[in-house]
């Protein structure tokens, strides 16, 4: 049985994964590493966008596993009680993950098509987490640290789409 203290510690460690992968995407991008799907001579902003979408793909796929296979533990680490709706989040994450990996290796239309649901989903999820922090005093690690991902990734993707003249 998972005690509250053990669940909180597990959540504290796991809460660093998504923000860490977001930072890692920027480290790869800024260090000049070529992302999967890179085309020689592309704008730097496009290379950065490919990194954001590629890492987002893996993050969403791992979130899919966490919200479905490990639903109970994941819910506890967020300060939630698991329910059927959590499976739906896992299924959405599966689609976003596969779409992001595909888009990272393709072109403008794919980037825009996957960016719209990513930006919408993450910004609104981030607002929901903020509401839970303020209204419910839910300071669970996976309800607070996730804000770096929830706001950092959509802001980065939107800024890169704009700066690369993709939209």
Domain regions of the chain by residue span: 7-163
What would the two tokens of residue 13 be?
A: 């460690």
CA distance 108 to 157: 13
| DSSP symbol at 147 | H
Of 91-100, 107-116, 134-143, give the lowest mean pLDDT range. Answer: 134-143
CB burial readout 33-66, b (16+ within 10 A) else e: eebebbeeebeebbbbbbbbbbbbbbbbbebbeb
The model's pTM: 0.88
CA distance 109 to 58: 20
CA distance 4 to 139: 13
The two most distant CA atoms of the chain are separated, in Å, by 54
State residue 11's pLDDT score: 55
CA distance 117 to 115: 6
> In this model, does residue 1 exceed pLDDT 50?
no
């Amino acid at each position: 049985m998972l005690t509250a203290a053990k669940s909180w510690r597990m959540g504290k460690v796991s809460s660093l994964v998504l923000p860490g992968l977001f930072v890692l995407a920027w480290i790869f991008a800024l260090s000049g590493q070529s992302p999967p799907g890179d085309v020689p001579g592309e704008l730097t902003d496009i290379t950065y966008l490919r990194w954001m979408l590629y890492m987002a793909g893996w993050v969403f796929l791992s979130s899919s596993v966490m919200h479905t296979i490990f639903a109970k533990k994941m819910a506890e680490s967020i300060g939630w009680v698991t329910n059927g709706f959590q499976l739906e989040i896992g299924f959405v994450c599966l689609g976003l993950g596969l779409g992001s990996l595909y888009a990272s290796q393709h072109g403008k239309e794919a980037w825009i098509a996957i960016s719209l649901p990513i930006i919408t989903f993450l910004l609104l999820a981030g607002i929901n987490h903020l509401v839970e922090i303020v209204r419910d005093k839910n300071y669970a690690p996976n309800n607070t640290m996730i804000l770096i991902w929830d706001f950092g990734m959509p802001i980065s993707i939107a800024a890169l789409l704009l700066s690369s003249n993709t939209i």
